[in-house]
Amino acid sequence: MNFQELRPQVEQILQDSNIDVKQRMTQVCELLEQNISYYDWVGFYFKNGNKEELKLKAFAGEPTDHEIIPFGKGICGQVAVSNQNFVVPDVKAQDNYIACSINVKAEIVIPLFVNGENVGQIDIDSHTADPFTAEDEEFLVWVNQKVAEIL
Ligand code: SME
């Protein structure tokens, strides 16, 4: 399924007020993980209260040991402080990287803004080398904007 086909499905899930926000976000993770061949783990991390750390809120794929990530650590922790998209074509080339699985070859992390504040992020791991393009970034920025609307 391509990104254009996925957009209305993402919107439909996020607008379903019969289920809570966390469940809706889990369903979005599952939708993306199941329909984009090179998305092997999809999760949303958010700032954990007043702490300078991220906490995993929703995900699809293998459970991870890294449910809490300090700001500045790993790709996710760097995005928490940089406010910038981070596309990693080859995780082996990164010094500041937290490995979740030996199968992961590439990663993309896109910050999620509410009223201009970086409150969280979507994180995708891929078992395919160098799979992400500007289209992924554009789509994931859009997904985060849609999630921000229901937070
Ligand atoms: N690889 C991430 C950690 C989170 S896992 O990918 C689920 C990082 O370096 O921040």
pLDDT, position 33: 98
pTM for this entry: 0.97
> In residues, how long is the chain?
151
Taking the centre of ligand 1 as the mean of its atom positions, its distance from the CA of residue 53, in whole angstroms, is 13
Q: Is the CB of 107 under 6 A from ligand 1?
A: yes
Residue nearest to atom 3 of ligand 1 (CA): 98
Q: Does domain 3-148 have CATH number 3.30.450.40?
A: yes
Whether residue 67 is predicted with pLDDT greater than 90 in this model: the reply is yes
Span 124-145, average pLDDT: 98
How far is Cα 46 from Cα 112, in angstroms, rounded to an integer? 9
Residue 134 CB partners (closer than 8 Å, separation 6+): none
Q: What percent of the chain clears pLDDT 90, i.e. is strictly above it?
A: 98
Q: Sorting pLDDT into bands at 50, 70 and 90, what band is 71?
A: very high
pLDDT at 143: 98
* pLDDT value of residue 149: 97
Nearest CA to ligand 1 atom 7: 100
Rounded to whole angstroms, how far apart are CA atoms 106 and 121? Answer: 16
- Check pLDDT > 90 for residue 1: no
Q: Mutation test of ligand 1: which of 66, 97, 103, 132 has the most ligand atoms closer than 8 Å to its C-beta?
A: 66
pLDDT for res 100: 87
10: nearest Cα among 134, 126, 133, 122: 122
pLDDT tens per residue across span 12-60: 999 999 999 999 999 999 999 999 999 999 999 999 999 999 999 999 9
The residue assigned the tokens 């957009």 is 7
Residue among 106, 139, 149, 112 at smallest CA distance from 31: 139
Domain residue ranges of the chain, discontinuous segments joined by +: 3-148
pLDDT in tens, 75-93: 999 999 999 999 999 999 9
